[in-house]
A = this chain, B = another copy of it.
Amino acid sequence: MRPEHKNVPALPAGPHLDSDCRGAASVLARVGDKWSVFVIMMLGDGPKRFNEIKRMIGGISQRMLTLTLRGLERDGLVTRTVFPTIPPRVDYELTDLGRGLSAPVKALGTWAIEHQPEIQRARMKFDARNDNA
């Protein structure tokens, strides 16, 4: 067991970057994770079931969703509730900690959506300049 989990490496070793920053790195790694961000946003408005989340996100494999949810659970950001029914049902919900995080994450998401066009234009221009290939 214990193979993947999302590795949370914590920067190598350098005596650089004050330790707060280094510890924060592993947290940012989770937040920085594309899928984690999406899941947190999806869970923003109430608990959801596994396949429900999967459908909402769309491009994610069940493997990645499982791994992502496991990671978020590990970090105390979401709770996993199993209903021992047939067929089984599992609900995922943000914890208080998770809800706290969802605020800054949403801010980021909002920013991303708002400025997406500018960024895409910047990319086009940049690529155009360097694409003599």
Contacts and interface: CB of A to CB of B under 8 A. Distances in A.
A75 B122 contact: yes
B123 A59 contact: no
B13 A59 contact: yes
Contacts of A76: 118-119, 121-123, 125-126
Contacts of A107: 104, 107
Label chain A's interface by main secondary structure: helix
A38 to B, nearest CB: 8
Contact of A115 (B57, B101, B108, B130): B101
Nearest to A116: B23
Which of the four size classes fits the interface of chain A? 35 or more
A107 to B, nearest CB: 4
B14 A58 contact: yes
Given A12-B59, A20-B113, A21-B113, 4 more contacts: A27-B112, A76-B118, A97-B119, A108-B108
Interface stretch (A28-36, A43-51, A86-94): A28-36
Given A16-B58, A33-B32, A59-B17, A111 B104 contact: yes
